[in-house]
Amino acid sequence: MSTPTPRAPMLSTAEALATLLSAASPIPGTESIPTLDALNRVLSVDVTSPLDVPPMNTSSMDGYAIRTEDLATDGKRRLPISQRIPAGHAPEPLKPGTAARIFTGATVPPGADAIVMQEQTEATGNEVTILHSPAPGEWITAQGADIRSGSTILPAGTRLTPQALGLAASVSCAELNVRRRVKVAVFFTGDELTMPGEPLKLGAIYNSNRFTLRGLLEKLGCEVTDYGIVPDKLDATRATLREAAQAHDLILTCGGVSVGEEDHVKPAVEAEGRLSMWQIAMKPGKPLAFGAVRRAAQQADAAASASAETFFIGLPGNPVSSFATFLLFVRPFVLLLAGMQTVAPRALSLRADFTQKKADRRNEFLRARINPAGGLDLFPNQSSAVLTSTVWGDGLIDNPPNHAISAGETVRFIPFSELLN
């Protein structure tokens, strides 16, 4: 009687993530696009400012521009108003012994060294009485106070948020150089899968994972090709893999990577490329497959032909398992392909307002939400099939292996706002 092959030990989440990310590097291909269209794209080069911001000294208040020495010399508080300076108009040099009416954002006239806000003055006719003794520089925003000419304001690898686009526009960037979008192919296997709106046959389920994973990929800015539901046949799975490999950077599947007679993804990927299957010590989401599918170079387009392979990641089929493994593994992998440099989500230290007496030997990722008192409540059913918990919750508690949680202790919480960004 032969001795069974011992099962490989499960990888920790840190080990699995490090192995996965070590294979990722920025994809080739860049383009120049209008700044207005660059939201969520990743910069391919640094953005350097060609000018100071603001480009001149400006007033931070509605009020009067003065020379502080005029007040210090003779104590005169009543000054004639020599000019009026709205924003966007070039002022004349300030005449000694006078004040200039000025508005927020307007250029400070040469010679003036302070602004007195209008609430600290009394204007009568063409004169103003100064009721405050300002210090030099008061209420003046100095030229270059925000940005200095020649400084890098947005480094390469930055994902462009709305405020980043505004910053680029503030230094006259009408176009930005960005990396091309990561191209991801997705498909799903399983004769039990049914699309919403269709009658649900006995033993069938609606394909929720298709909607979740496509939404997650699109939120990351990927260019997604959806091959839909592929029949549970080896030749159909292999044909879809071959087609998807030609023009994509990553193929993502959900389910079908086990060793059952109807699980054809694993043998299909092994026939068309290479595959590593990991058992990860995490809950939910124990199985994860990673590998690559060979490309037919003569059929690949110019962007795709830079590599002979397309990456492959196979996620578990349970809806919460696929959701959690996407957030923890696929998200950072895709962001590295996109050219980002910082991909780890930021975590919070928050108080657990619940007790979980039973510890699990795996690293648990518990769905929880922040309560009005600033603590965390736990969703009562942590099953990997309960998708409700992902909508109810605000994020995941990263609970170490073999650790029971007591009410009042501090836990590591990763908000969905970080994991979905």
Q: State the CATH number of the domain containing residue 281.
A: 3.40.980.10
- Let me know whether 193 and 268 are in one domain: yes
357 has a pLDDT exceeding 50: yes
Q: How far apart are CA 282 and CA 71, in angstroms?
A: 72
Q: How far apart are CA 382 and CA 323, in angstroms?
A: 13
Q: Which residue has the higher pLDDT, 257 or 132?
A: 132
Exposure of 355 in the CB half-sphere (CA atoms within 13 A): 3
Name the residue with tokens 């294979």. Answer: 23
Reported residue count of the chain is 421
CATH code of 164's domain: 3.90.105.10
User: Of the residues 273, 302, 337, which one is the last residue of a structural domain?
Assistant: 337
Span 328-357, average pLDDT: 96
- Let me know whether 353 and 213 are in one domain: no
153 has a pLDDT exceeding 90: yes
Nearest to 56 by CA among 82, 76, 85, 77: 85
- At what angle are helices 265-272 and 234-246 packed, to 10 degrees? 50
The per-residue pLDDT for 193 is: 73
Q: How far apart are CA 266 and CA 287, in angstroms?
A: 12
- Let me know whether 331 and 189 are in one domain: yes
CATH code of 104's domain: 2.170.190.11
Judge whether 7 lies within some domain: no
**Which residues, other chains included, contact 386 with Cβ-Cβ below 8 Å and sequence gap of 6+?**
320, 379
- Let me know whether 98 and 153 are in one domain: no
| Band of residue 238 on the pLDDT scale cut at 50, 70, 90 | very high
Judge whether 8 lies within some domain: no
- Let me know whether 207 and 81 are in one domain: no
Span 225-231, average pLDDT: 89
Span 40-55, average pLDDT: 96
201 has a pLDDT exceeding 90: no
203-240 burial, b at 16+ Cβ within 10 Å, e below that, comes to eeeebebbebbbebbeebbbebeeeebbebeeeebbeb
The per-residue pLDDT for 76 is: 67
Q: How far apart are CA 41 and CA 166, in angstroms?
A: 14
8 has a pLDDT exceeding 70: no
- Let me know whether 199 and 296 are in one domain: yes
- Let me know whether 161 and 47 are in one domain: yes
Q: How far apart are CA 185 and CA 223, in angstroms?
A: 9
Q: What is the pLDDT of residues 271-325, one digit of tens each?
A: 999 998 888 999 998 889 999 999 986 444 444 444 699 999 999 888 999 999 9
| Band of residue 88 on the pLDDT scale cut at 50, 70, 90 | very high
| Band of residue 116 on the pLDDT scale cut at 50, 70, 90 | very high
Nearest to 104 by CA among 91, 95, 117: 117
Span 3-23, average pLDDT: 82
- Let me know whether 257 and 376 are in one domain: no
Q: What is the dihedral sign for C-alpha 238, 243, 244, 245?
A: positive
Judge whether 1 lies within some domain: no
Amino acid at position 180, single letter: R
Judge whether 3 lies within some domain: no
The per-residue pLDDT for 75 is: 62
Q: Which domain holds residue 330?
A: 13-29+181-337
User: Of the residues 91, 123, 141, which one is the last residue of a structural domain?
Assistant: 141
- Let me know whether 136 and 185 are in one domain: no
135 has a pLDDT exceeding 80: yes
Q: Which two tokens stand for residue 420?
A: 């979905």
The per-residue pLDDT for 10 is: 86
Q: How far apart are CA 166 and CA 154, in angstroms?
A: 11
What is the per-residue DSSP string for 69-80?
A: HHHHHH---EEE
Check: CB of residue 226 under 8 Å from CB of residue 187: yes
Judge whether 342 lies within some domain: no
DSSP state of 304: G
Q: How far apart are CA 392 and CA 368, in angstroms?
A: 8
Judge whether 343 lies within some domain: no
Percent of the chain scored above 90 by pLDDT?
A: 79
Q: How far apart are CA 198 and CA 206, in angstroms?
A: 9
315-332 burial, b at 16+ Cβ within 10 Å, e below that, comes to bbbbbbbbbbbbbbbbbb
- Let me know whether 137 and 173 are in one domain: no
| Band of residue 229 on the pLDDT scale cut at 50, 70, 90 | confident
Judge whether 4 lies within some domain: no
Judge whether 381 lies within some domain: yes
Name the residue with tokens 């836990």. Answer: 411
Q: Into how many domains does the chain fold?
A: 4
100-129 burial, b at 16+ Cβ within 10 Å, e below that, comes to bbbbbebbbbebbbbbbbbeebeeeeeebe
Check: CB of residue 64 under 8 Å from CB of residue 132: no
**H or E stretch including 337?**
helix 331-337
Check: CB of residue 198 under 8 Å from CB of residue 264: no
β-pairing, 140-141 with 58-59?
antiparallel
CATH code of 409's domain: 2.40.340.10
| Band of residue 7 on the pLDDT scale cut at 50, 70, 90 | low
- Let me know whether 274 and 157 are in one domain: no
DSSP state of 37: G
- Let me know whether 299 and 223 are in one domain: yes
